[in-house]
Amino acid sequence: MKVAVFGSTGFVGKYILKSLKNHNHDIYALVRNGSESKISDIDNINIINGEVDNNTSLDQTMMNCSTVIYNIGIIRQFKSKGITYEKLHFEFAKKVIDRAAHYNIKHFILMSANGVKEHGTGYQSTKYRAEQYLKDSGLNYTIFRPSLVFGRPKNDQEFCTQLRDTMLKLPIPAPIFFPGINITKAGNFSMSPIHVENVADFFVKSIQNEKHYMKTYSLGGMHSFNWKQIIKTISKALKKNKFTIPAPVLPIKLVASIFDRFKFFPITRDQLTMLLEGNTCDSKDLFSDFDITPVEFNTKNLSYLRQK
């Protein structure tokens, strides 16, 4: 199949390209000028240099394709640089969906996120609106909503390596966040980590399979872990005995309100809000349905954290 990919140079995008190649699809990837070097294995990929907000670039990428994968997204925004949830999650998605409808694309696959909602954080609400726009477009769609995605990054941001660098490598106890004043709730929120290779394979195995049309799938691993267990597992993978300390989230949010516009600050208010909400789902049956072998969240599969 000829597949157009938008968002191919990021963490998940690179694994989607790899899975597409493994399944012998013809790949057409829109890449910003100067970003080609982010794709390590560029052979047999049709690279179209351009911008998502340019119709000519969109046309050159998808006009000969039957499937579109939209994987453009950010985990935090920097408004002063024009990097916003509104632009990347919704406005660009809307533009790509409109051009896909123009070309009568057979199947549109959207990267969303577990826990999206209409009246959530900026991250959640913009992804939710992109979902709704796609559902109303008349296109055959498949929407994937991953929980926490982990796996070896290729010079990209990844949750576990970011946690390693911003919290676990520091000579201070790791914070166990809790809302309000009830310390007994510290670290009780949970997530369902799923490996990036599994996420990529779900995308690719849904291509041109009509039973996945008009479906929205939440993707998580085989098990859920609370924050304390995640900290413990990552610390063990690093061969560290990391102490933890309960941390009320309110004062951290107050500090974040001043500094989270700057890249050096490790966490944003929105990220803290979503963290405390938890992010779990039960996807056990999907692994069997898609014939995918789950990669477990454990110390063995986190061994990449010991490498810089």
Assess contact for 281 and 217: CB atoms under 8 A. Answer: no
Q: Which of 96, 23, 22 is nearest to 53 (CA)?
A: 96
Map residue 299 onto helix, strand or coil: coil
Tokens of 305: 């954290």
Residue 271, in any domain of the structure: yes
The two tokens of residue 264 are 């050096």
Among residues 203, 219, 235, the one where a domain terminates is 219
166/121: higher pLDDT = 121
Are 140 and 119 members of one domain?
Answer: yes
CA distance 208 to 202: 12
Q: What's the CA gap between 179 and 187, in Å, rounded?
A: 10
Instruction: For residue 99, tell me if it sits in a domain.
Output: yes
| pLDDT tens readout for residues 257-284 | 898 888 888 888 999 999 999 999 999 9
In this structure, are 66 and 137 located in the same domain?
yes
Instruction: State the average pLDDT over residues 69-79.
Output: 93
pLDDT of residue 241: 86
- Measuring CA to CA, how many Å separate 241 from each of 112, 177, 190? 35, 19, 21
Same domain assignment for residues 39 and 133: yes
Q: How many domains does the chain have?
A: 2
**288 occurs within a structural domain:** no
100 with 67, same domain? Answer: yes
- Residues 10 and 60 occupy one common structural domain: yes
Backbone angles phi, psi at 215, to 5 degrees: -120, 145
108 and 256 together in one domain: no
Backbone angles phi, psi at 21, to 5 degrees: -65, -40
| pLDDT tier at 84, thresholds 50, 70, 90 | very high
What separation in angstroms does the CA of 178 have from each of 14, 175, 193, 197? 35, 9, 20, 32
Q: Express each pLDDT in 105-162 by its tens digit.
A: 999 999 999 999 999 999 999 999 999 999 999 999 999 999 999 999 988 889 999 9
DSSP 281-300: ---HHHHHHTT-PPPP-STG
Identify whether residues 26 and 118 lie together within a single domain.
yes
**Cα(308)–Cα(303) distance, rounded to whole angstroms?**
11
Identify the DSSP state of 34. Answer: T
144 within a domain of the structure (yes/no): yes
How far is 118 from 124, CA to CA, in rounded Å? Answer: 7
Asked if 130 and 239 sit in the same domain, the reply is no
Q: Convert the pLDDT of each residue in 216-235 to its tens digit.
A: 999 999 999 999 999 999 99
* Structural domain boundaries, residue 183: 159-191+223-280+293-306
Q: Are residues 250 and 208 in the same domain?
A: no
Look up the pTM and report it: 0.94
pLDDT score of 308: 63
